[in-house]
Amino acid sequence: MLDPTVREALAERVRRGKLEAQLRFVRETGEGENLTLNAPLVAALGQLCKQLASDFPAPTAGLDVLRWPGVLQETPLDLESLGREVIA
């Protein structure tokens, strides 16, 4: 959590009075740099789709597969470096 880090940084700079603040972080999306593909799961799903092709002839689109749970994984935030940027 960033709260203790930010709280300590503020306490060093503000000596008197009461200070209330709210920190909100919104991760930018759209570039895809924080997403990774779960390649083993995609390979397994591809094999399953091939097995089902005779019973279900409609093709499976790649974009549909990306919507399935677990296929795309978000890389975790590096809270330590984010905290350094916040208090800089």
> Token pair of 57, please?
């002839």
Per-residue pLDDT, 16: 77
Per-residue pLDDT, 52: 84
pTM of model > 0.75: no
Number of domains, the chain: 1
Centre a 10 Å sphere on the Cβ of residue 68 and count the other Cβ atoms it contains.
13
Residue 42 in contact with residue 66, Cβ under 8 Å? no
Rg (CA), the chain: 22
Residue 69 in contact with residue 41, Cβ under 8 Å? no
Per-residue pLDDT, 46: 87
Domain with 59, as residue range(s), is 3-87
pLDDT tens figures, 4-58:
777 777 778 887 777 777 777 776 766 556 788 899 999 998 898 888 888 887 8
Per-residue pLDDT, 1: 62
